[in-house]
Structure 1
Amino acid sequence: MTPAHLADRLEKTPGPQLPSHPAIAVWRAAASADIDAIHAVVSAADAVDHPTWTTPRQDVAEAFESTHIDPARDTLVAVTADGEIVATGVSALHPSRAGGMLSVDLSGAVHPQWRRRGIGTALLRWLDARAQQQVARAAQSLEGGGSEGRLKAYVEEPNTDHATILAAQGYTAERWFSTMERDLAQPVTTLPVPEGISLVPYHRARDADALAARNDAFRDHWGSLPSNEERWQQFVGGDFFRPDLSRMAVTDDGQLVAFCLASVNEEDFAALGASHAYIDLIGVVRSHRKQGLAPLVIAAALEAITAEGLERAVLDVDTDSPTGANRLYEGVGFVATHRVVAMVRRL
């Protein structure tokens, strides 16, 4: 009989062993001094795997700034005899322990010039072993021993090599996410604001309220766990977040009930072929759903983005969203362009 508690199921989980590969002289943990070299690998991979957007350097740096990631244990880089980093990976255990769920995101990249040599397979095996170890240790500290462990990696659909090595390691496709774009040359329909609701730009004084609204709005979404203050501050305090282009719906008594939050990374303009804003989050708190607030905040944000002179708006959506978000976005003019698959291994 399989033990009911995660801690019991993973009691004898071994730690990861450093890979061995003839083309790699050294496998080691990443250090902050490697940020630029790692970003170079990731950028080269981006150009092949998803050429319409690039990973900001800030995203790489966050692995060395986030308290839930220990770079000495949770990261790995592959270094050639010439001292060049050609592959990189991170196993990030989500800080939430809600419901006894322990979730790890595996991310990484192999420089395109070094692919199809088995380096990615070796890297993934290490990441998978480290993720299992993270879950096992965290489960031991949870009252009741934890309920479920989930290892997850996102794969761009054209990157079949990535999907293949994950499948070989026991990961299966569970969910698909579409990237959608809206041409802002097309007019935005201004929607009437319901009585008792005000539309306002995002204000940093409402950071805590916005985090609470985000966690409430997304608690029934696939793969979503509560965000914490550190991760939220990395987002709203980051270089790309645009409070002036973001919109919140607020009740007369001051409750934040819906939001559409946007960012702008000018480095992506050339990749997409158009200036644009990325809509990071759209949500409505559960007590105020089915009142037309989602299209309201989206339309208000699109009007602000258009007034900024940007040409497009871009977002990503779960194709099986429980709120029917993909149909909502199609209804306000967004068109799907490509897909990402979430591949998962459950422990």
Structure 2
Amino acid sequence: MSDTLAERIAAAGLDASGPAVPRHPDIAEWRAPTRADIDAIHAVTAAADRVDHPTWVTPREDVADTFDLPEIDHARDSILAVGHDGRVVAVGTSLRHPDASVRIKAYLQGAVHPDRRRRGIGAQLGRWLHARALQQLADTGSTLPGELDLYAQDGNDGAVVIAEALGLRTARWFTTMVRDNAQPVRESSPPEGIRLVAYAPDRSDDARLARNDAFRDHWGSLPTPPERWQQFVGGPFFRPDLSTLALEPDGRIVAFCLASVNEDDWASLGASNSYIDLIGVVRDHRGRGLAPRVIARTLQAMTDAGLEKAVLDVDTDSPTGANTLYEGLGFVATERERVLTAEF
């Protein structure tokens, strides 16, 4: 592509000059958030979570972490809606992915408190986020492809209507799958020369590079930069003892299964559980049966730790046939989430 994103956005009849302050009779003030708003943001997000995906709730730590991410400028990228009673009732952020090597991507993330829905607040929030995301893409001056993404849980029809009104269309579905760890884990030895070990902190960047290689051909995936990776593996929920690395004799990481535990989700799911965040095999080692082996080791570690369930999310059109793999390991589909996308 030779024309810039700004030119392509303009050619589509869209304005990338930036968002105007929304207006709504139920909202006394629209403003940018500060660190002092972390609890208020989390309160809205958690209330929305309990309606939109009742088996898990966004941790407060995840909200707080956004104020330390270099790619988010809350003064420009985020907005709060404050009701006449002084309570925050809606929140939103347009997050541009920090990697710009392949495409320029922004995520529209927002929530309206369930007791303030169906009043048009979400539509106003969505228009603001869309305008800010277009501005973020245009301001890069890049000629790379551009993309806007919005994730909506199956059943969250309001979010879908808002996204479609902004020109986004459903591009992909992801499925949540749950496994009862009372099922025995099938034992199998790794291929000759491969060792399965627990994750070790001194392998952090090696694991990041393995993740970036493994996910290069996965839909929607972009490389994870060191800062964002460290926030994940150095965070309060990541569990090195449950996570697995597959190593070649020279120590190179060729496969991984990384897991976390958030005890706040246990009541929502009705059982103690661990979430499998990432499963991958570097591309020159695919077809050797490494994925089921690293998963099996992690599942056994969960069982040994007394965790009743394992949870993961999978792209329904995964190029590696992950759905079939997970079903064979005892995972059962429970919920679905769609990704609505606009490309430029």
Say yes or no: TM over 0.5: yes
Aligned equivalent of 1:30: 33
- Equivalent residue number for residue 159 of structure 1: 156
The sequence identity of aligned pairs, in percent, is: 59
Does the residue aligned with 2:323 lie in a helix, a strand or coil? helix
**What is the aligned partner in structure 1 of residue 19 from structure 2?**
16
Query: What amino acid sits opposite 1:5 in the alignment?
Result: T
Verify the 8 A CA contact 1:102 1:146 in the aligned structure 2: no
**SS of structure 1 residue aligned to 2:291:** helix
Match of 1:47 in 2: 50
TM-fit CA distance, 1:146: 2.1
Q: Which amino acid aligns with 1:58?
A: E
2:92 maps to which residue? Answer: 89
Quote the Cα distance in structure 2 between the aligned partners of 1:297 and 1:160: 37
Q: Report the AA paired with residue 125 of structure 1.
A: R
TM-score (norm 1): 0.96
Tell me by how many angstroms 1:8 deviates: 2.7
Q: Deviations over 1:190-226 (max 9, x none)?
A: 1112110000000000001000000000010001000
CA offsets 1:215-264 (integer angstroms, 9 cap, x no match): 00001000100000010011000100000000000011111000000000
Query: In 2, are the aligned partners of 1:277 and 1:305 still within 8 Å (CA)?
Result: yes
1-side partners of 2:144 and 2:69: how far apart? 25
> How far is the alpha carbon of 1:3 from its aligned partner?
6.9
Structure 2 counterpart of 1:132, which letter? L
Q: CA deviation at 1:15?
A: 1.1
Alignment partners' CA distance in 2, 1:246 and 1:43: 27
Tell me how far apart the structure 2 counterparts of residues 244 and 258 of structure 1 sit (CA, whole Å).
16
SS of equivalent to 1:104: strand
Q: C-alpha distance in 2, partners of 1:37/1:5?
A: 38
Residue of structure 1 equivalent to 2:136: 134
Q: Deviations 1:48-106 (Å, cap 9, x if unpaired)?
A: 1111110000111122110000010000000012211000001000011122x100011
Where does residue 195 of structure 1 map in the other structure? 192
Residue in structure 2 matched with residue 60 of structure 1 by the alignment = 63
TM-score (norm 2): 0.97
- Residue 245 of structure 1 aligns to a residue whose secondary structure is coil
Moved more, 7-16 or 145-154: 7-16
RMSD across aligned positions (CA): 1.1
Give deviations 1:164-191, integer Å, cap 9, x for gaps: 1111111100000000000000100011
* 1:244-302 deviation per Cα after TM superposition (whole angstroms, max 9, x unaligned): 00000001111100000000001110000000000000000001000000001000000
SS in 2 for 1:30: coil
Other-structure match for 1:294: 291
> Aligned partners of 1:218, 1:54: CA distance in 2, in Å?
26
Aligned partner of 1:281 in structure 2 is 278
Give distance in 2, aligned partners of 1:8 and 1:51.
42
Pick one of 207, 220, 224 that aligns with 2:221.
224
Unaligned runs of 5+ in 1: none
The corresponding residue for 2:304 is 307
Residues 255 and 188 (structure 1), Cα distance of their counterparts in 2 relative to 1, 3 Å cut: same
Matched pairs, number: 340
CA shift, 1:5, in A, is: 3.2
SS at 2:27's partner residue?
A: coil
Which residue of 1 is the match for residue 235 of structure 2? 238
